[in-house]
Chain A
Amino acid sequence: MTGPTHDDVSGVRRAPRASVAETSEGAQELATRTRTPPAELRREAGAVLRIPEGGVVDTGDIDLERPTDETMIINMGPQHPSTHGVLRLMLELDGETVLRTKPVIGYLHTGMEKTAEELTYVQGGTNVTRMDYLSPLSNELVFSMATEALLGVELPPRSTWIRMLMAELQRISSHLMWMATNGMDLGSTSMMIYGFREREMILAFFEKTTGLRMNHNYIRPGGVAADLPDGWEDDVDVICETILRRTYEYDELLTGQPIFRERMEGVGSISAEEAIALSVTGPILRSTGVPWDLRRSMPYLEYDKLDFDVIVGTFGDNFDRYAIRLNEIRESIKLVRQIAERMPPGDYRVQDRKVTPPPRARIDESMEALIHHFKIFTEGFRVPEGEVYVAIESPRGEIGCYLVSDGTSKPYRLHIRGPSFVNLQAVPALLRGGLIADAVAIISSVDPVMGEVDR
């Protein structure tokens, strides 16, 4: 808008607002060295805010005096096919070496956290499931668990075990998807096809169970929407059998490959201290040797009753992250088999009529059931006042849900701590000093899902 505008209330003429391109934190773009203050330069060059200067990151190798005309700033994304969506990276290069990186985000921002305030808790699942679209069930699970924590309901055991089964299958499918795209980023189209082929089996099972291949709205506050379909035991069995055997084929195709190892080993390494200072979680943190897996560190659902290993790496490089994800597929198969074996019978949704609608047969029989049915599908259920933070281990790391309720049937505030968003902060540190050719491999190994980054 140009020219002076009128304030509606006072009628005072005011100058037009300043440029809207800049946020309160300044422009997001990477500026040339002459226009960047030294403190900012040091920060961008890879030093981490929370690490005391000169502590862990060796600032000695950051050449602050380099003249601007020796370096080049190039723009990668948001339309670059290897940035896994609409991630935009601004890279400062000296020849082929990356000096500074700035991830620019917001290209997929759709205001989902704000939308959540407009939807009831019954409808909310359809919204949060679209954030991390490669593991939608993790989003639903954390949202449901946060709502249940405020409601204070006790879940029937079968619902918990179905949730674990679905979450572990989701982890396998998400990691397979990562194996596929990572293979493609490195030029291995065979791996891309094999990864998608195996993922299809899990998606077909989700389709059979929830009616949809993604964005299921299957895990709801109070339990799960429907029971597992007829014949699920055999389906889960055939999935585990097939995918486990195929992971050994991936070993043959990638793990032992000299070419693959050349591209992965020692590329994009990060230390445990850096990773912790950047709040990085998931496979990236575990690749540095920190055994931090919320299923083990802060057990939720019934994970403490199951037998599984937390896979950790040593060097914090791309290859460790690859190996962790591959082995987590095997661990998840182990978990799925245990869960399928121990699946308890009984109700799979809490039978509290204030939270769960009555069985369909009851609508015609009881006036009260009909009223509950109408109340839940129009107004939803009221959640007691309070606030809660619940975190679970998604395939990408710690996904948290901060939920504030004001006692109505809609959240007052919903915030998702997206692991992709936080892990993306590690990209400048991972890329610094590396080659531009490795940038694609490093972005891939971080496994960002832009739907979750921007929300």
Chain B
Amino acid sequence: MGLLSDIREDLKFFGGFKLTFEHLTRPRVTRQYPEEKKPKQPRQHGRHVLSRYEDGMEKCIGCELCAGVCPADCIYVRGLDNPPDHPVSPGERYGYVYEINYLRCIHCDLCVEACPTEAITESKLFEFSFTNRADAIYTKAELLVGSDGRPQKLPWEDWRDGDDLHTSGWMRATAPNGSAAYEGEVQWSGELGYGVRPPEGGQSGRRDDAATGTLALREVLEAHLLDEDIPLAHRGMRGRLWRAQLSAARNRRKMAQARERFKDLRAARTRDRREPRQVRP
């Protein structure tokens, strides 16, 4: 009896092997990172943008509140009186200089909470890197949204579809500042190109996930769930096949994109031969 129980005890490590092998039939939780990314939630903190009103006027009034609250001292703002004949912002003053140093910024978004005109908000882009320190200092020219209201996409930033949608969620989430009565209320002005963004429902009960872009964890982390929580078609070996099809489609798409890019490149090269390219000063 003693021997038997000893053997049973020693065989327990097979349980670990069983578990590891079981994982062959489970969906893969990792992603092909740079090609495929996890969807982002609306409250995500990212690279800032300076937004405009729907009539194209700038929202920044140069009050320097963002610079004052910044714990990392990364914002530099100077205001100037609006020129009377062609005003830049609707108020008396506008942000003449606006710089954010991304070598210092910690993305705490206190500036977004502090801005009284919702001028400084954040996009959901956080993957940007520089090859020199000067590029890390974003000036107003880079931060301000374009004439269509879309954020500027700089060469070293990895923008994906949807990164500019449902942004500035943190500003809207913190807008009630703890008061339940103000939840679900619009407390901000419209934005050029996007209009007035909808509030989160919160305790008001007026919840609209499609409008706010809020994603349930069940959708975002489907592969992490227990087997019975995963839709049948995405489960087990069938799920493997489904995912293989997805990745094949993705590869086809990538190849097509690469072909397009190659075509562009070839066109650019032939152009080069005709006229010398402009060198950036």
Q: B-contacting residues of A (Cβ < 8 Å)?
A: 119, 122-123, 126-127, 156, 158-159, 190, 197-198, 200-201, 204-205, 207-212, 215, 217, 222-227, 229-231, 234-235, 238-239, 241-242, 245, 249, 252-254, 256-259, 345-351, 356-361, 363, 370, 373-374, 377-378
How far apart are A145's CB and chain B's nearest CB, in angstroms? 17
In the complex, A249 Cα to B229 Cα: how many Å? 17
B69 touching A231 by the CB < 8 A rule? Answer: no
B179 touching A359 by the CB < 8 A rule? Answer: yes
In the complex, A230 Cα to B188 Cα: how many Å? 19
Q: Closest 6 CB pairs between A and B?
A: A349-B178, A123-B71, A361-B187, A360-B175, A377-B114, A211-B43
Q: Which of A235, A356, A361 lies in contact with B217, CB distance below 8 A? A: A235
A205 touching B217 by the CB < 8 A rule? Answer: yes
1/0 per residue, CB under 8 A from A, across B101-126: the answer is 00000111110011010100000000
1/0 per residue, CB under 8 A from A, across B174-203: the answer is 111111101101011000000000001111
Q: A-contacting residues of B (Cβ < 8 Å)?
A: 9-10, 12-13, 15-16, 18-20, 29, 38, 41, 43-45, 65, 68-69, 71-72, 106-110, 113-114, 116, 118, 169-170, 173-180, 182-183, 185, 187-188, 200-203, 207, 209, 212, 214-218, 220-221, 224-226, 229
A227 touching B183 by the CB < 8 A rule? Answer: yes
Known A361-B185, A377-B69; judge A229-B217 contact (CB<8 A).
Answer: no
B41 / chain A contacts, CB cutoff of 8 Å: 207-208, 211, 229
B19 touching A360 by the CB < 8 A rule? Answer: no
Nearest opposing residue in chain B for A254, CB measure: B16
A222 / chain B contacts, CB cutoff of 8 Å: 178
In the complex, A360 Cα to B119 Cα: how many Å? 13
B212 touching A126 by the CB < 8 A rule? Answer: no
How far apart are B76's CB and chain A's nearest CB, in angstroms? 16
Nearest opposing residue in chain A for B72, CB measure: A126
B116 touching A201 by the CB < 8 A rule? Answer: no
B65 / chain A contacts, CB cutoff of 8 Å: 374, 377-378
In the complex, A349 Cα to B173 Cα: how many Å? 13
If over half of A's interface residues share one DSSP class (helix, strand or loop), that class is named, otherwise mixed; here it is helix
Known A201-B224, A227-B202; judge A357-B19 contact (CB<8 A).
Answer: no
Nearest opposing residue in chain B for A225, CB measure: B174
A224 / chain B contacts, CB cutoff of 8 Å: 178
B175 / chain A contacts, CB cutoff of 8 Å: 359-361
Nearest opposing residue in chain B for A236, CB measure: B217
Known A217-B108, A378-B68; judge A159-B178 contact (CB<8 A).
Answer: yes
Not counting A210-B43, A230-B202, A238-B217, a sample of 19 additional A-B residue pairs whose C-beta atoms are within 8 angstroms of each other reads A119-B71, A122-B69, A123-B110, A127-B71, A156-B178, A209-B43, A211-B41, A211-B43, A217-B108, A227-B183, A242-B229, A346-B180, A347-B179, A348-B178, A348-B180, A357-B177, A359-B177, A360-B118, A374-B116
A361 / chain B contacts, CB cutoff of 8 Å: 175, 182, 185, 187
B216 / chain A contacts, CB cutoff of 8 Å: 231, 234-235
B207 / chain A contacts, CB cutoff of 8 Å: 230-231
In the complex, A198 Cα to B224 Cα: how many Å? 7
A351 touching B179 by the CB < 8 A rule? Answer: yes
Known A239-B217, A357-B177; judge A211-B109 contact (CB<8 A).
Answer: yes
Nearest opposing residue in chain B for A370, CB measure: B116
Known A208-B41, A238-B218; judge A345-B180 contact (CB<8 A).
Answer: yes
In the complex, A228 Cα to B186 Cα: how many Å? 18
